[in-house]
Amino acid sequence: MALVVQKYGGSSVATIDKMKDVAKRIIKEKDKGNDVIVVVSAMGKSTDRLIEMSRQASSNPSKREMDMLMSTGEQVSISLLSMVLSDYGYDAVSLTGFQAGIKTQGVHTKNHISDIDVKKIKKYLEAGKIIVVAGFQGMNNQGDITTLGRGGSDTTAVALAAKLNCLCKIYTDVDGIYDVDPRLYPEAKKLDSISYEEMMEMASLGAGVMETRAVEIACKYNIPIYVASSKENKMGTYIKEYDESMEGKAITGLTVSDDVLMVTINNVSYKAKNIALIFEKLAKYNVNIDMISQTAPINGYVNVSFTTSKEEIQYINEITKELKECIGDIEVSKDIDITKVSVIGIGMMKQSGVAANVFKIFADNNIEFKQVTTSEISISYTIESEDKEKAVTILARELNL
């Protein structure tokens, strides 16, 4: 007998009929003789509806109350799915994040899991129950309900699998991990497997199939993740430890992110304290920064550019006001018509010339880029959004994806 953690996203449990299909998949796993823990998201777009209601209630809702509100979506899912399983004759119990022992810390709406007390879970497993856990939520040291931010249900599932040392299966509306988003490039190929490192890079750079923190946890504790369709019985993709067969190609995948806000602060007096102040203000408002660039000093002034999520624009406006009071006569521009395109591959570590090749592809096809950043296994470019489809198609073909 083995233990398996399964996770189902919002689209997979959007209706009662879909929940019945999910229940049959869970039962199939249980009938193999395995213990099953199921993590589910809120039904369909219910979290979006809750957020919209909060905006109607308040122009600036408290983050604590937002956590209280958003956590209710998963509670609806777990209770209904448990009812469906029970109606099929299988003993199921639903648990909120707190009841499942999920402890969190951090700021409201962006908490992270600090530990999981699995005593209650083990008790229910010993009783033979299917356990249905609310993803995306936990409780902090102050006893407040907290949420884990975007993709938090993936994180919940993988963290439980890591704590209990078992396989984690992520069931979603796609049938695996593709080297390029098939919606952007219909000839994209599904990967049989991908390394933790490559998947973390792809997730952080725009691939929406997995959440970065979830893969980080899996990598740290060497927990395999299997990503497959919740609707079809097709082979999916394993996210697992690196092996030498993964070095065959320099590029494993290409990702695209439209959630890019490019901020440029012009006429910054060239003093270390001014540059530090910019990023201290960003940290104060918990604004996550991606790409950073700075011009060389000209007449004692520099321009500083960085990218962040479009969701942070309200905080950027507040930060701009504070910086003008501290630094003086700066000019701040914000560009939202930006797309980030990234090429990722662990093979880059041993194969040279990838950057030169991509630069040439852009040059030959008159695609301009604004910023470039690199890691050991990725290269990212910000381009005009209007060039996105052209860039993806040309890069995918030229790089044999």
pLDDT at 114 over 80: yes
Residue 335 main-chain phi, psi, to 5 deg: -120, 120
pTM (two decimals): 0.83
Instruction: For residues 357-371, give the mean pLDDT.
Output: 90
Report the half-sphere exposure of 119 (CA within 13 A, side-chain side).
Answer: 2
Tokens standing for residue 294:
């700075």
User: How do residues 252-310 score in pLDDT, each as one tens digit?
Assistant: 899 999 889 998 989 888 888 988 988 898 888 888 888 888 888 898 888 988 888 88
Cα distance between residue 355 and residue 380, in whole Å: 10
Cα distance between residue 12 and residue 232, in whole Å: 12
Look at residue 29 in the predicted model and tell me its pLDDT: 95
Look at residue 155 in the predicted model and tell me its pLDDT: 95
Q: Order of strands, edge to edge, in the sheet holding 301-308?
A: 292-294, 301-308, 261-269, 331-335
Instruction: For residues 137-144, give the mean pLDDT.
Output: 95
Residue 315 main-chain phi, psi, to 5 deg: -70, -35
Instruction: For residues 99-126, give the mean pLDDT.
Output: 95
Could you count the other beta carbons within 10 Å of the beta carbon of residue 152? 28
Look at residue 324 in the predicted model and tell me its pLDDT: 86
Highest mean pLDDT among 96-105, 209-218, 376-385: 96-105
User: How do residues 172-230 score in pLDDT, each as one tens digit?
Assistant: 888 899 999 988 999 999 999 999 999 998 888 877 788 889 999 999 999 999 999 98
Check: CB of residue 228 under 8 Å from CB of residue 175.
yes
pLDDT at 246 over 60: no
- Per-residue confidence band for 24, with pLDDT thresholds at 50, 70 and 90: very high
Look at residue 210 in the predicted model and tell me its pLDDT: 85
Look at residue 289 in the predicted model and tell me its pLDDT: 87
Look at residue 206 in the predicted model and tell me its pLDDT: 77
Look at residue 93 in the predicted model and tell me its pLDDT: 98
Could you count the other beta carbons within 10 Å of the beta carbon of residue 278? 21
Spell out the domains of the chain, with CATH numbers in brackets: 3-173 (3.40.1160.10), 261-335 (3.30.70.260)
The share of the chain scoring above pLDDT 90, in percent, equals 59
Look at residue 223 in the predicted model and tell me its pLDDT: 95
pLDDT at 247 over 70: no
